[in-house]
Amino acid sequence: MAVFRWEVCEAIRSEQIIGVIRAAGPDEAVRLGEAMIAGGLRIVEVALTTPHGLEAIRQLASRDDDGRLVGAGTVLDGEAAFAAAQAGARFLVAPCVAPEMIRVGHRYGCAVLPGAFTPTEIGYALELGADLVKVFPACDLGAGFVRNVRAVFPQAPLVPTGGITVENLAAFLDAGAVAVGTGSSLTSEGPEPARIRAGEMVEAVRSRR
């Protein structure tokens, strides 16, 4: 299990896929998470918009003998960052640049992925110490945006999220993304389809190497 922030970031860079879970409750979130892990994903994120999402994080993170890494999504402030870290999250994700989330996340050893939509926001996130930057919503920006931003911010470790599918993930990775985040394309039809689609995504990544 990764312990330090740099280990978490290296695991994300290596696996190149973060499975994002938004569910109606903790039981559904755990089922989806376990299904994606059974399909081959090793990194999953439970959005805190999930009712009692911290409980889902706690359950998923307690079973770490298979090398999984569990994170929290939609972490908007320091209070949520602290709660997620206490629940066992190893990385924290926000849809926006959330300075207090970054500070508190680092204080408790979590890697942080604030969200950005413009080069200005990406630059600001990096100045605040973002370990990785979530580019969101990626489906509205396209892989060309990642390529163009990387031309001027070659040091920016970008993680496009939103609208990522097995069909387009290679385009984002080829454009210079270090990883992608994907949710509804995996989880919209329940655990068993999530397991199958996770396997397809993992294979799509492996086929590029």
Query: What are the backbone dihedrals phi and psi of residue 132, each rounded to the nearest 5 degrees, phi first?
Result: -140, 160
Catalytic annotation present for 45: yes
Choose, from 15, 28, 34, 45, the residue flagged as catalytic. 45
In this structure, the dihedral spanned by the alpha carbons of residues 200, 38, 7 and 10, taken in order and rounded to 10 degrees, is -10
Catalytic annotation present for 203: no
Helix, strand, or coil (residue 66): coil
Choose, from 28, 134, 189, 203, the residue flagged as catalytic. 134
How far does the chain reach from its first CA to its final CA, in angstroms? Answer: 24
Instruction: Supply the residues annotated as catalytic.
Output: 45, 134
